[in-house]
Chains A and B, each alone.
Chain A
Amino acid sequence: MTRPPTGPPTRPPARPMSRPSARTTGRFVVLLVGAAVMVLPFAMMIATSLKQQSFVLTPSLVPDHPTLDNYVRAWTSSGFGRYFLNSAAVALATVALVLLFGSMMAYAFARFEFVGKKAMFYAMIATLMIPAMMLLIPQYFVARDLGVLDSRTGLVLFYVAGQLAFTTFLLRGFFAGIPRELDDAMLIDGANRWHIYWHLMLPLARPALATAAIFTFLGSWDEFVWAVTIIDSKDNRTLPMAIQLFQGQHGTSWGLVFAASTIAVVPVIAVFVVFQRYFVSGLQAGALKG
C-alpha cells in the first residue's frame, strides 16, 4: 500500500486499437468464438421463426424462402396479442408498485431509527436467500384465501411481494449515500417527511430507481412458475406460459413457437441493451455489497 507506483505502466497506453499485439488479437478471437456460441441458439430461433412449415425441420441457419407468416399467425390467430398485453400490464403494474412501496421502505430504513428496524431489515435480507419456488405451495393457498387465483391481480400482488426485498435493499443503500444536510435544509424550510421523500429522495435516486425498475420488469415479464400455477383461463395467460402451452399444442409448429418466442424476447433485449449501464451497476451493487 505504501509503495508508490514506480516502474513502467503495465497497461497499454490510451489507444489500444492502434497496434494490436498478437496476444490482444488472440484474446479477441477467443471472445468472438465464445460470443458465437452464445448467439447461435438465438440465431437458430430467429431463423426457424422465418421458415415455412415445410422447412422448419431442416437445421439450416439461413431460411431458404423466408416468410413472416409465422409472426402474422402467432399474433392474429393464437391470441398472442392478448397474452402480450397481459404480460405488459402485469409487468408495468408490478414495476410501479415495487418502486413505490420499495422506495418508501428504503427511505424508512435509511433515515429513521425505530423499534424493530434491525429485525425487519434482516428478515427481508434473509428471504433473499430462499428460492422463491419453495414458497409456491403455501402461496397458492394464500392466493386462494384472498380470492385471487386465476387473475392478473394474483400475479401482480405476489410479484410485488417477491421483488420488494431486493428493491428495498438496493434503494436503501442509495438513499443512505445522500447527505443528510439536504434533508435538514428542507426540514428547516418546514417540509415534512413525505415531502422530503417525494421531492428530494426520489428525484435524486433516479438512477437507482431505473436499475430497480429494469430488474423488476424483467423478473415479472419472464415469470413462469407462479403464472402456470395459478392461471387457468386462456384470457389471463402471460407470454411465457402461453408459449409453453403453445408448444404442447403445436408440437411440430416450431416456426410458430419461435415466432412467438421472438416476440416475447425482443422487449427484454431492447430494455437490456438500452439500460445496460444501470443493469450492470445494480447487479454489481447487489453482489458486491450483499
Chain B
Amino acid sequence: MGKLSSILSVIVAVLVLISTSALFIVDEREQAILFQLGEVVDVKTSPGLYFKIPVAQNVRYFDSRILTLDTEEPERFITSEKKNVLVDFFVKWRIVDVRQYYISVRGDEALARTRLAQTVNSSMRDEFGNRTVHEVVSGERDRIMEIMRQKANVDAKKIGVEVVDVRLKRVDLPQEVSESVYRRMEAERKRVANELRSTGAAEAEKIRADADRQREVILAEAYREAQTIMGEGDGQAAAIYAGTFEKSPEFYTFYRSLEAYKKSFKDKQDMLVLEPSSEFFKYLNNPENSSANKK
C-alpha cells in the first residue's frame, strides 16, 4: 500500500515533468519558434499542443495579434509652404515571418517598434514636405496614409513584419500658429456679426420706409377719392341750384342778395354810414312823398 502509493506518486511526478519539459502549447494569440541549441529548427504558426526534446530544445513565443505603435508625443513636420505641423499617428503591425523577425530584431518588440517608427517618420517627412497644410489636413489625408503604409511595408518585410495600417491622428498647428488662427477666426466672426447687424438695420429701415410710402399712397389715394366725392356733391348741388334758378334769374339774385345782406350785417360791430337819400329813407325825409324822391 505504501509502496504502491509511492510508485504512483513517482509516476505522477514523472508525468508532470514530461508534460512540462517535453510538451508545449501554442495559444491562438501567438506563434512559437523551436530552438535547438540556439538554432531555429521549427516555427509553429498554428495553435495547439506540440512536442519537443526536453533540455536540448527550447521555445520562444511571439505575439501573433495586431500590435500597435502609438507615438506618445506629436512630432513636428514641415509642409511644402514651410509651415510646422504637429502630427501624431499610430501604426498597426503584425509579425508575419517569425523567423525573419527573430533574426533581424532578435525578437525584441521595442527594437521592431523603433525601426518601424523611423521608417514611417522618414516617409512622413517626404510626404508632408510635398504638400500644403490644407492638403495634409483634408485633401490628401487618406492618400498619405495609404502611401505610408505601402512604404513602411517595404521595409517591414525585411524584419518579418506586415504593416496593417498607418493612420494619422492629430495634424495640428503648433501653439503659436494656433493663436493666429484664433485671431483670424475672431476677426471673421466680427465681420459676420457686423454684417448681420448692419443688414438688420438696413432691412428694418427698408421695412419702415416701405410702410411710410404705403401710408403716403393710401392717404393720397384717399384724398383723391374724397375730393372726387366732394366735387360730385358740389356738381350735383350746382345742378340743382341752376335747374331751379334758371326759371327767374332776376328774382333769384334779388332774393339771394337780400339773404346775403342779412347774413353780412348782423351785429353791432358792423358800422353802417348811411345817407338818408336812399329809397329806404324816402318817408323819413318826406312823409308826404308817396312816390320816390327823384333827384
- A and B: bona fide binding partners: no
B residues apposed to A, CB below 8 Å: none
